[in-house]
Amino acid sequence: MSIKTTCPYCGVGCGVIAQPDAARGTVNISGDTTHPSNFGSLCSKGSALGQTLGSDGRLLYPEINGQRVSMDAALTHVAAGFNRIIAEHGPDSVALYVSGQLLTEDYYVANKLMKGFVGTANIDTNSRLCMSSAVAGHKRAFGEDIVPACYEDLELADLIVLVGSNTAWCHPVLFQRIAQAKQQRPEMKIVVVDPRRTMTCDIADLHVPVLSGSDVWLFNGLLAYLHEHGHVANDFIANHTEGVDEALRVARESAGDMKQVAAACGLETERLLEFYRMFADHERVITAFSMGVNQSSAGTDKVNSIINCHLLTGRIGQQGAGPFSITGQPNAMGGREVGGLANMLAAHMDLENTSHRDLVQDFWRSPRMAERGGLKAVELFDAIHDGKVKAVWIMATNPVVSLPDADKVKEALRRCELVVVSDCFAGTDTNALAHVLLPAAGWGEKDGTVTNSERRISRQRAFQQLSGDARPDWWLICEVARRMGFDRSFNYDNAHEIFVEHAALSAWNNDGERAFDIGGLAKISSTEYDDLAPIQWPVPERNHPGTPRLLESGRFYRNNRRARFVPTATRAPAHKVDSEFPWVLNTGRIRDQWHTMTRTGRAPQLGAHLPEPYIDMHAQDALLSAVSDGQLARVETQWGALVARVKTSGEMPRGTIFVPIHWNSAVASDARVGALVNPVVDPVSGEPEFKHTPARVTPFPVNWHGFVLTRTPIEKLDATWWTAIRGAQFMRYEIAGRGRSPGSAWAREAFQANHPDADWVEFSDPACGIFRGALLVEERLEGCVFISPRTDLPSRTWLSNLFAKKRIGNADRASLLNGGPTSAAEDPGPLVCSCFGVGRNTLCKAIAQDGLKTPQEVGRRLKAGTNCGSCLPEIKSLIAGLAK
């Protein structure tokens, strides 16, 4: 059996083929060569999906206050709790907090329940933290949340400007499509606008290392430059836009002359002008942007300052030209279609527009409609904290980790009368605060649709049986709705019935008023739905082929059909650095992990690339903070603190530090970066400023460092600081501590408990604080521990290879006790290629010895980089480094 479905991670929306192997109990995952978003490619995360599918760690049964209950009891409890609180305190006292990882069908019923039946718009989503500035920018400029471009435009463009997007790591398959297009047409230019020199810069002709938060200066300056140098689409502006003069005036006044712009952006004037000239000289320009733009207290203005440059030059809705918001989550776009944000209605209609409200109420036959916008994510959790919202149902998101000022979020949930969480996994930080836990179906069990960054609707199809009592999210929502008394309106038997209702609403009294129209899919049969091929909306008529590009005719969706130049006055990030908090804390993603690691953290293939939380900073800033590469340090802001390992990768500019977002309490003692982030939001979109919080870095002194690799996970770790990651045959714990370093007694207790008769070998030098121990069970390595006062511990990659051996011979025993392989050749070094497990030492050796000059030659020699390609930028940088 082989099932076509869609990857559940990023917004690229790659087609996946899943082939369950019943005999082995595994699922083989490959890229779908017929899917028009990825043509068969998958990145490291997509390739490792098969490793995330077991029932181990799943939330399988409903619980109330920690006790397992029947599904019926749990659903009835939730419905009764919501109804009681609504009766006592009104509809606005309850809320849903949902996610861009729900399927469109789940999202549709969640939104319908709240806005049309409970009668409150208190349903918001983690897309508030992600896309809401892009949505707000699109609505201000175009009148509707429209992404005009498609992936093919990236290949057709002569210039791609990537703004605040680490595409190489966060949208890897799109990055590969861009890299391939550039290889075929080397004259194609790429600019990366990012304070960090990320792996994305690998294919860039120009890196523009702007100061954090200065993008509006950059694009206001560009607008003025384009105007001054005559790159103005006069006819397009006259016929299809309004407000150009005011936008130009504000841009000029607030950004100043080119020198002032360069200074505000922290750039040399020459580099600034080089970028401006490139932009001016290419008709086919795509400006693709993501979180470096959206996640800012000026996020919506950043978006509009970009759109203004495209409107001025008329480069929009054309092949290879336009602003392009790259979405993060697999169904961020679908969530927007159903109106999942607290300030939207459904099918791209507006909550505060009476005729839209009447239209939707009529269609839903709903008893009471929400009449004004609900609370946006950060406000919502503040209202929970203040006791104004008394019941919340959190679905498919982990806000205790992912919201800003996350310790306050934790406290808010502690105070809340009724917290319901539905998740597929047990043990998340948010689950820990739930009164009711509802087990949700996981990726392989779910059935429905998602929409990717290029408006392409693709099917997710189930290829596994439901685990335990887990049920699809739409089912859980409908069952609660029915128990709340809304039986007739939530009486769906399957995802298809919901989808066709959603499609019908998009076409209801539409007449071309709203771009989002998938009326052509409103009458598809259940079989046609099952077979639905990926298609880009709008799909206004039956058998319509879909719409790759929007806004081609210059007709926009505001009342007067014109696009609006939105004046964007510059303003600095909300909080400035000062002597107490001298560094800007920037947060974001790493290549092989997905958000809070509930899924990717289970795949051994993904754990080794960057196994620990870290603080990346400029070497001189590290020196000023009295910390150094490899040592632990504490990052502290006005809101919270964490401890992680310092790294001076060379990617960071002076003045800013970078901490990844993924680590949480389930996998580290103290590394939830959300707790440190300023909760200030953009005034228009409500999106938090995740990329700019003033912070300080101080040493975190410890007396000893160590790590443990063990086949049997350890329940309790006696260490001041720890982090845990899954390896192929073992759990890996990095530990460090104060006081006396652990020795023989500690290690034996931790290890030997499960294997009292096993063979224990150890080396101990108490005077030097060095301890090494290994447990062998029937000559196989069961576990090992290494402790030292310094961080110069043995290679984990070398040791992980010993775990793969059936027998540990005498030479290996000796090397275990010596703390290192007998020959350097046995140490592959830190992992670079996760698909084929190729380490840095192996790569460097082959590159040097065999004179390999291109990643292709490396691939032929070692296979590295030949599957998903996510490590190609790193391989290229190793080749470049060795060529120096």
Closest to ligand MGD by CB, 397 vs 797, is 397
Of the residues 41, 587, 720, 801, which one makes contact with ligand MGD according to CB under 6 A: 587
Instruction: Decide whether 373 or 865 has the Cβ nearer to ligand SF4.
Output: 865
Residue 42 binding partner per list Mo ion, ligand MGD, ligand SF4, none, with a CB distance cut-off of 5 to 8 Å that depends on partner kind: ligand SF4
Q: Tell me how far, at minimum, the Cβ of 432 lies from ligand MGD, in Å.
A: 12
338 binds, among ligand SF4, ligand MGD, Mo ion, none (CB under 5 to 8 A by kind): none
Q: Per CB under 6 A, does 216 bind ligand MGD?
A: no
Convert 379-403 into a string of H (helix), E (strand) and C (coil). HHHHHHHCCCCCEEEEECCCHHHHC
For ligand SF4, the closer CB: 42 or 864: 42
Q: CA-CA distance, 342 to 187, in Å (whole number)?
A: 44
450 binds ligand MGD (CB under 6 A): no
Strand pairing report for 641-647 and 731-737: unpaired
What's at 685, amino acid-wise?
S
One residue of 315, 591, 634, 705 binding ligand MGD per CB under 6 A: 591
Are 330 and 599 in contact, with CB atoms under 8 Å apart? Answer: no
Out of 49, 163, 615, 627, the only residue in the binding site for ligand MGD (CB under 6 A) is: 163
Q: Which is nearer to ligand SF4, 8 or 538 (CB)?
A: 8
Residue in 62, 137, 172, 328 binding Mo ion, rule: CB under 5 A: 328
Using the contact rule CB under 6 A, the part of the chain among 211-219, 273-281, 508-516, 696-704 near ligand MGD is: 211-219
Q: Is 799 in the site for Mo ion (CB under 5 A)?
A: no
Which of the choices ligand SF4, ligand MGD, Mo ion, none does residue 471 contact, using the CB cut-off of 5 to 8 A by kind? none
Question: Which H or E element spans position 262?
Answer: helix 258-265
Peptide bond into 195 cis (omega under 30): no
Kindly state the smallest distance separating residue 610's Cβ from ligand MGD, in Å. 10
Q: What are phi and psi of 583, to 5 degrees?
A: -110, 150
Shortest separation between residue 282's beta carbon and ligand MGD, angstroms: 19
**C-beta of 147: minimal distance to ligand MGD in Å?**
14
- Of 683, 691, 690, 689, nearest to 136 by C-alpha is 683
Told to check if 334 binds Mo ion by CB under 5 A, we report: no
Q: What does the alpha-carbon distance between residue 137 and residue 131 come to, in Å, rounded to a whole number?
A: 10
- Shortest approach of Mo ion to residue 53 CB, angstroms? 23
Q: Assess 198 for contact with ligand MGD (CB under 6 A).
A: yes
Question: Would you count residue 441 as binding Mo ion (CB under 5 A)?
Answer: no
User: From its phi and psi, is residue 615 left (phi > 0), alpha (psi between -120 and 50) or beta?
Assistant: beta
Distance of alpha carbon 527 from alpha carbon 878, whole angstroms:
50
Site for Mo ion in 93-132 (CB under 5 A): 130
Tell me: does residue 653 bind ligand MGD (CB under 6 A). no
Does residue 585 contact residue 661 with C-beta atoms inside 8 Å?
no
CB of 770 to ligand SF4, least distance (A): 42
Show the beta-strand stretches assigned E in 817-879.
831-833, 838-839
When asked if residue 195 is in the footprint of ligand MGD (CB under 6 A), the reply is yes
Pairwise CA distance, residues 51 & 602, whole Å: 7
- Residue 883: beta bridge partners? none
**Residue of this chain nearest to ligand SF4 (CB atom):** 46
- The full 3-state SS of 279-322, as one line of letters, equals HHHCCCEEEEECHHHHCCCCHHHHHHHHHHHHHHHCCCCECCEE
CB of 870 to ligand MGD, least distance (A): 8
Of 49 and 369, nearer to ligand SF4 (C-beta) is 49
Among 15, 62, 292, 653, binds ligand MGD (CB under 6 A): 292
210 is a site residue for ligand MGD (CB under 6 A)? yes
What are the two backbone dihedrals, phi and then psi, of residue 781, each rounded to the nearest 5 degrees?
-75, 120
Candidates 157-165, 336-344, 358-366, 522-530 — which segment interacts with ligand MGD by CB under 6 A?
157-165
> Given the complex with ligand SF4, which of 38 and 834 has the nearer CB atom?
38
Give the integer Cα–Cα distance in Å for 140 and 331. 22
Structure token digits, residue 471: 């049920």
Tell me the site size for ligand MGD, rule CB under 6 A: 59
Asked whether position 109 contacts ligand MGD by CB under 6 A, the answer is: no
Q: Taking the complex as a whole, how short is the minimal distance between the CB of residue 335 and Mo ion, in angstroms?
A: 11
Point out which residues bind ligand SF4 (CB under 6 A): 7, 9-10, 12-14, 38, 42-43, 45-46, 171-173
For the record, the structure tokens of 190 come out as: 């790429």
Would you tell me how many other CB atoms lie within 10 Å of the CB of residue 371? Answer: 13
The token duo for 328 is 């993060």
**Residue 99 interaction partner, one of ligand SF4, ligand MGD, Mo ion, none, beta carbon < 5-8 Å per kind:** ligand MGD
Q: CA–CA separation, 846 vs 830, rounded Å?
A: 15
Contacts of residue 261, Cβ cutoff 8 Å, sequence gap at least 6 = 217, 218, 220, 221, 255, 272
Min separation Cβ 34 and ligand SF4, Å: 15
594 binds ligand MGD (CB under 6 A): yes
Closest distance to ligand MGD from the beta carbon of 324 (Å): 13
For residue 722, which of 663, 677, 679 has the smallest C-alpha distance? 663
DSSP 8-state class, residue 116: I
639 counts as binding ligand MGD under rule CB under 6 A:
no
Query: CB–CB of 374/95 below 8 Å?
Result: yes
CB atoms closer than 10 angstroms to residue 294? 31
**Three-state DSSP state, 779:** coil
Contact between 157 and 286 (Cβ < 8 Å): yes
Q: Which does 7 bind (CB under 5 to 8 A by kind): ligand SF4, Mo ion, ligand MGD, none?
A: ligand SF4
**Helix or strand run (H / E) with residue 775:** strand 770-777
Binding interface with Mo ion (CB under 5 A) = 130, 328
Chain residues binding ligand MGD by CB under 6 A are 10, 45, 99, 101, 126, 129-130, 163-166, 169-170, 193-196, 198, 210, 212-213, 215, 290-292, 295, 328-329, 395-399, 401-402, 422-425, 428, 440, 446, 473, 586-589, 591, 593-596, 598, 661, 673-674, 677, 690-691
